């Protein structure tokens, strides 16, 4: 399955594009009712695609079957070109204009945890009735399979009804995000494509416009002890006890971290404890805790790491503090590695991407949208946080359901997101090109 996917490229016969001034036409009689009406006619198609990808498990490095399904969808919907990069991410292209926009949603998911917590099979999508068009449930629905399904259909809708010759639109289904945010998208941005003018992430935003998230580091704190028989613990040194004051100081630190004006407070959480011991009747030889430190505005990975190292309890026991490193082999056979440091990022509120996102809401949805930020981390840590490429987010569903047994997305969100994705490229191109003119005047 994997060999024929690696670095595969195909082209499809392009449909006849709409006029270059698609978004201007939409403002003169082809507005919200038009985009939503056309998106509504594709409700069954996007719902079926979402159901198919939910049925297909796709843990990080095991995304090949989902990539195949998405590849088929892009071809069927008339994308101009469809490729799979060496890491396994799928890239669909529409158009060939000077303004480059990249839509990205990751296609991998976390595992299901205890099956006993689930009210239903996590890999059998179920539509639960609600006051609207129903709510799809299943692993990965909100994070981020609803995003990629609506982006793929939204791109096709854009090609048919909102097309402008000013834009090259890429729709990317990236891999391995759940294990290492931004790593696969960075490979696309640095190795596969010319630098885009804007990245749009499909992570859940409740169909609002988001413009940042906190960065983070993952680290370990390890203490060396001296193992001995548990019948005489005084003959050795138990390192687990050394970590008790460290844990208390970490807990206290979480309540005293700084707060960013937009992203809110930083945080630190203990996520795992382990020790190495010869048996259950022996004193351990080493003990380790793992920490997740979230970084708000003004905090850097280096500062946060040094802050942990300077804790008095860490100094007292001579604990080792170090960043974790992610290493993987993609389903294509590509090996990747990266330290688990991820920069905080915020796109300015007056950036053309943000203002165009709000304008697309008025055009496509006849709504005044709000701006916000994610509590969790996204691929934006690479696109904006590391590479400095302006990045925003717009996606169906609510992040509160991510990684839970209540993983879900309203089907009405799929339709709304599809309409927004169709309207946005021409709106952004208009704003971006206007800014590039002398004086920045329209």
Which are the catalytic amino acids? Answer: 108, 177
For residue 48, give every residue at least 6 positions away whose Cβ sits within 8 Å of its Cβ, in sequence order, or none.
Answer: none
Rg (CA), the chain: 24
What gap in Å lies between CA 28 and CA 30, rounded to an integer?
6
What gap in Å lies between CA 83 and CA 70, rounded to an integer?
11
Identify the CA nearest to 17 among candidates 442, 437, 426. 426
Q: Which two tokens stand for residue 360?
A: 């697309």
- Which sign, positive or negative, has the C-alpha torsion 95, 91, 42, 75? positive
Q: Which two tokens stand for residue 367?
A: 């709504």
Cβ burial of 379 (10 Å; 0-12, 13-18, 19+) is: buried
In our burial notation (b when 16+ CB lie closer than 10 A, e otherwise), range 349-370 reads: eebbbbbbbbbbbbbbbeeebe
- The answer to whether 143 and 407 are in contact (CB under 8 A) is yes
Give CA torsion, residues 415, 108, 398, 160, to 10 deg: -20
- The answer to whether 46 and 38 are in contact (CB under 8 A) is no
Q: Which two tokens stand for residue 107?
A: 């296609």
Strands 99-106 and 126-128: what pairing?
unpaired
Phi and psi, residue 9, nearest 5°: -140, 140
């Amino acid at each position: 399955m994997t060999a024929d996917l690696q670095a595969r490229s195909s082209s499809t016969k392009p449909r006849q594009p709409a006029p270059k001034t698609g978004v201007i036409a939409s403002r003169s009689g082809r507005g919200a009712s038009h985009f939503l009406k056309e998106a509504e006619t594709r409700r069954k198609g996007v719902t079926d695609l979402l159901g198919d990808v939910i049925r297909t498990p796709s843990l990080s490095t095991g995304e090949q079957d989902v990539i195949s399904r998405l590849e088929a969808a892009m071809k069927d919907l008339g994308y101009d070109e469809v490729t799979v990069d060496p890491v396994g991410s799928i890239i669909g292209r529409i158009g060939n204009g000077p303004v480059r926009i990249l839509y990205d949603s990751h296609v991998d998911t976390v595992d299901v945890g205890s099956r006993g917590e689930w009210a239903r099979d996590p890999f059998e999508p179920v539509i639960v009735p609600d006051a609207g068009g129903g709510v799809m449930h299943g692993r990965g629905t909100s994070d981020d399979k609803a995003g990629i399904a609506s982006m793929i259909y939204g791109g096709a809708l854009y090609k048919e009804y909102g097309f402008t010759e000013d834009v090259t639109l890429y729709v990317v289904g990236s891999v391995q995000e759940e294990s290492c945010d931004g790593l696969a998208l960075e490979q696309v941005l640095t190795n596969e494509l010319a630098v885009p003018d804007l990245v749009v992430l499909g992570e859940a935003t409740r169909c609002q416009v988001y413009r940042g998230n906190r960065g983070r580091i993952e680290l370990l704190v390890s203490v060396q002890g001296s193992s001995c028989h548990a019948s005489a613990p005084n003959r050795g040194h138990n390192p687990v006890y050394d970590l008790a004051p460290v844990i208390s100081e970490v807990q206290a630190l979480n309540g005293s971290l700084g707060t960013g004006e937009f992203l809110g407070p930083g945080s630190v959480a203990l996520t795992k404890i382990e020790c190495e011991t010869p048996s259950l009747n022996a004193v351990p030889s080493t003990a380790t805790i793992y920490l997740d430190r979230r970084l708000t505005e003004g905090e850097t990975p280096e500062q946060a790491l040094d802050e942990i190292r300077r804790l008095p309890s860490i100094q007292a026991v001579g604990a080792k503090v170090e960043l974790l490193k992610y290493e993987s082999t993609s389903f294509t056979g590509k090996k990747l590695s990266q330290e688990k440091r991820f920069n905080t990022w915020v796109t300015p509120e007056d950036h053309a991407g943000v203002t165009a996102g709000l304008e697309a809401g008025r055009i496509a949805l006849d709504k005044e949208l709000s701006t916000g930020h994610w509590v969790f981390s996204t691929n934006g840590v690479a696109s904006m946080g590391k590479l400095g490429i302006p990045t925003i987010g717009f996606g169906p569903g609510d992040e509160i359901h991510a990684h839970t047994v209540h993983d879900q997305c309203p089907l009405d969100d799929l339709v709304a997101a599809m309409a927004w994705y169709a309207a946005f490229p021409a709106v952004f191109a208009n704003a971006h090109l206007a800014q590039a003119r002398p004086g920045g005047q329209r």
